[in-house]
Amino acid sequence: MKSNMNIFKNIYKYRELLKTSVKKEIRGKYKHSFLGVLWSFLNPLLQLLVYAFVFGTILKNPQENYVVFLCCGLIPWTFFSAALSRASFTMVENGNIIKKVYFPREILPISIVTSEAFNFIISTIIIIAFVFIYGLGITKYILFYPFVFIVQYIFSIGLSFIVSSVTVYVRDLQHLIGVALQLLFYATPIVYSTQTIPEQYRWILNINPMSYIINGYRDIFYYQTMPDLKGLFILLIAMIAFCAVGYLIFQKLQKGFAEEL
């Protein structure tokens, strides 16, 4: 358990490094583009319109206010998938520094996930905008938004620990993750709702943490009811445990980073 406490000590000590690298991630991402940070708005928005057109207009999804329904799933998903795929590259990208200087390596995946989390929080404005455009309005249940967000954040951190460290040893994982994310996209209730899935396939959604998380956001913004607090609470405990396991794997693997990169 000692090494599990070390992570907090390390991060506190190197908080300035974490802060600057989060800033660098956010600023660096769109540094050379004309519209700059505006892209963190435009990207999910354009994606949303494409999906809304394909699944709403062409495939005629019967869901009422389909755009709102969709964006409650798509925007959290973008946070998740961007964090994961960028985490898989981060060690190789920073190989030069890793080989030369000591700093707690966990700073790298954490700053990736954190910068994507900032993007997500900003993108939430899109959800709120559509909620108002479609006349649904905001209810008191928005108070649970930070709770669902924290569950997702911890899940993403845990997964990024594993992905970023394993990729150093098995470079194929970078490519595999792209495909896996695409598959997972359809195994998560983003473009459809859980209820439309036949009973015999429900288990797929039930073992997928992202489906609870997205249903949580959806309860808050779309259905405007109380999210499944008991389920989310159990998920939170499970994700904290998952994150700890991820960190142990990371700690074990990081000792060889400088030699493998």
Partner 1 sequence: MQENEYSIIVDNVYKTFNVYLDKANTIKEKLMFFKRNKKEKREVLKGINLKIKKGEVVALIGINGSGKSTLLKLMTKIIYPNKGRIITEGKLTSLLELGAGFHPDFSGRENIYFNASIFGLTKKEIDNRLNDIIEFSELREYIDNPVRTYSSGMFMRLAFSVAINVNADILLIDEILSVGDQHFQEKCFAKMQELKQQGKTMIFVTHSMDSVRQLCDRTVWLHQGVIRRDGPTNEVVDEYIKETT
34 is an interface residue for partner 1 by CB under 8 A: no
252 is an interface residue for partner 1 by CB under 8 A: no
259 is an interface residue for partner 1 by CB under 8 A: yes
Instruction: Please measure the distance between the N-terminal and C-terminal CA atoms of the chain and give it in whole angstroms.
Output: 28
- Which residue, 8 or 102, has its beta carbon nearer to partner 1? 102
CB of 256 to partner 1, least distance (A): 8
Q: Which of 3, 13, 233, 241 contacts partner 1 by CB under 8 A?
A: 13
CA–CA separation, 245 and 249 (whole Å): 6
Query: Which segment (96-104, 113-121, 146-154, 196-204) binds partner 1 by CB under 8 A?
Result: 96-104
100 is an interface residue for partner 1 by CB under 8 A: yes
- Where does the chain have alpha helices with state H? 2-13, 15-29, 39-51, 66-93, 95-100, 107-133, 145-169, 173-186, 202-206, 209-218, 229-254, 257-260
Whether the CB-CB separation of 123 and 40 falls below 8 Å is answered with yes
CB of 31 to partner 1, least distance (A): 9
| Neighbouring C-beta atoms of residue 90, cutoff 10 Å | 23
- Identify residues 163-222 at the interface with partner 1 (CB under 8 A): 170-172
∠ CA 113-250-120 to the nearest 5 degrees?
Answer: 10
- Which residue, 114 or 215, has its beta carbon nearer to partner 1? 114
8 is an interface residue for partner 1 by CB under 8 A: no
- Which residue, 13 or 202, has its beta carbon nearer to partner 1? 13
Query: Which segment (8-16, 111-119, 129-137, 221-229) binds partner 1 by CB under 8 A?
Result: 8-16
Q: Which of 3, 20, 196, 225 contacts partner 1 by CB under 8 A?
A: 20
101 is an interface residue for partner 1 by CB under 8 A: yes
Two structure tokens written together for 245: 């396991």
CB of 250 to partner 1, least distance (A): 14
| Neighbouring C-beta atoms of residue 140, cutoff 10 Å | 9
- Which residue, 4 or 20, has its beta carbon nearer to partner 1? 20
Query: Which segment (9-17, 128-136, 183-191, 240-248) binds partner 1 by CB under 8 A?
Result: 9-17
Give the burial class of 218: count Cβ atoms within 10 A of its Cβ; 0-12 exposed, 13-18 middle, 19 or more buried.
buried
16 is an interface residue for partner 1 by CB under 8 A: yes
Whether the CB-CB separation of 227 and 220 falls below 8 Å is answered with yes
Interhelix angle 107-133/39-51, nearest 10 degrees: 60
Residue with tokens 């998952």: 242
Two structure tokens written together for 40: 């963190």
CA–CA separation, 211 and 187 (whole Å): 8
The site for partner 1 (CB under 8 A) is made up of: 13-17, 19-20, 24, 96-103, 170-172, 255-256, 258-259
